[in-house]
Structure 1
Amino acid sequence: MKEDRYFIAGRAIAVSLIRGGRPAAFLSPTVFFCLVEGPEMAKPLLKDVADSDLCEKIKRVTECKSFEDLRATTEPLEEYLANAGCLRPLRRLEDKNLLVDDILMFQVIHSVRGPFERLRDGLRTLGVLDKIQTHPNSFYPLLCWSPATLTADLVDSFFTIRLSPVDSNRRHAEEVVVPFWRDYLADSEDQEGTQKLGTILSFATGANTVPPIGFSPQPSIEFLHQEYDAGTTSKLPIANTCINCLKLPLYTSYRNFQEHMDFALGNTHGFGLA
């Protein structure tokens, strides 16, 4: 808060969305709801509590079966409840639900209200917050986490394959490699799933996920013929991430193609991506 990093984070997310950068898919549904409807309307859940010790204590409150159990379970929380302003009188077992709601509102919403407001102020940059509130369904998958769904067919569809003229010697060599490329994507999906496909995408474009507004320029595949690099033929794939272009080496054996693709991907680490 002292360095105003929440505001900077909100502004960075807004600019990234506008510029077609990687989506900031890490917000919880509750935080996203607060951005759209406002914190006052939020209904936080137990899973929103990051403090595992406090989460376990709240869970025990929800599991109380008698009023005596409720009194005994809330006793260790008295200091926390006093600091949180949640000193709700407990007169019956059913009061536990109201108490839990109070605790969740304080822990998830009120205790981080300052950072949240600065994050929201940052998202106002370039009118992004207004668009989030107007089109929440469109922004939800961009701002909230969900399992990645890259597939071999999807990754293949991103790339335009630039082939040499029909019936040329180059074209014949390229048409041998195109099935290798698609087999390699399929094998990657079968062996390591989304993670390997994300690595391939990152190698070619610098992004291991699809940007919110798509790729620009459209990713393409070219081929490394002999005249490349002053008369030598590269054995490894080469990528130009400025133009999203992947250049594939020419092989007549899928095994050789696969080995050199794996070597290139395994020994290239950049862009600060894990």
Structure 2
Amino acid sequence: MYPDSFRPLFCHEPSPLTAEMMDHLFHIRLSEMGSNKRRAEELVVAFWRDYLQDVEEQEGPSKLGKILAFATGASVIPPVGFSPQPLVEFLHDQSLSPKLCLPMANTCINCLKLPLLDKYERFRESMDFALGNTQGFGRERLDLLYIV
């Protein structure tokens, strides 16, 4: 008789993503304390957090959803969460391949690999380029079909 009363119990309504939610969602795997790798990684962690804040302020939850989809394949946090937990790792051997200056992701294991760049502007450009040039599992095309 009262379907609207029970809707929150049986239907998941994802809340809009925030930079803080994204930061807490991803576990960051750092190298050993005191190593040179660790210092470079800590700099990029600061860039990652700044990037999330900038995206939230400038473009909102939809772009945060693109970041999440790039890393996990899901643009919202599922009701039961992720398994495995989303993870941030780092690309250390950039000198071996110029492609490693772009972030990479493995959606099967919910892993986002960030490039070790020394300037925030380069990091931001790298992230924006990767996110802007990803197919997103064809979801954009499906969304267009429903709009038309």
TM-score relative to the length of structure 2? 0.85
SS at match of 1:273: helix
Give the structure with higher Rg (CA): 1
Counterpart selection for 2:52 from 146, 162, 185: 185
- 1:1-274 matches, cutoff 5 A: 33=3, 137-140=8-11, 142=12, 148-226=15-93, 231-232=96-97, 234-274=100-140
Rounded to whole Å, the distance in 2 between the matches of 1:137 and 1:147 is 11
TM-fit CA distance, 1:136: 5.2
How has the CA–CA distance of structure 1 residues 136 and 240 changed in structure 2, closer, same or farther, with 3 Å as cutoff? same
Q: Read off the aligned partner of 2:74 and give its amino acid letter.
A: A
Q: Read off the aligned partner of 1:244 and give its amino acid letter.
A: N
Q: Read off the aligned partner of 2:121 and give its amino acid letter.
A: R
How has the CA–CA distance of structure 1 residues 249 and 219 changed in structure 2, closer, same or farther, with 3 Å as cutoff? same
TM-fit CA distance, 1:272: 2.6
Q: Read off the aligned partner of 2:3 and give its amino acid letter.
A: F
Question: What per-residue deviation string (whole Å, max 9, x for no partner) do you get for residues 149-175 of structure 1?
Answer: 110000111100000000111001101
Residue pair 2:94, 2:101 contacting (<8 A) in 1 also: no
Residue pair 2:101, 2:126 contacting (<8 A) in 1 also: yes
How has the CA–CA distance of structure 1 residues 137 and 257 changed in structure 2, closer, same or farther, with 3 Å as cutoff? same
TM-fit CA distance, 1:270: 2.5
Aligned residues between the structures: 139
SS at match of 1:216: coil
TM-fit CA distance, 1:138: 2.6
TM-fit CA distance, 1:226: 1.1
Q: Read off the aligned partner of 2:104 and give its amino acid letter.
A: I
- Of structures 1 and 2, the one scoring higher in RCO (CA 8 A, sep 6+) is 2
Give the alignment's Cα RMSD to 1 decimal: 2.3
TM-fit CA distance, 1:137: 3.7
Residue pair 2:69, 2:136 contacting (<8 A) in 1 also: no
Structure richer in helix, relative to its length: 1
TM-score relative to the length of structure 1? 0.47
Residue pair 1:148, 1:194 contacting (<8 A) in 2 also: no
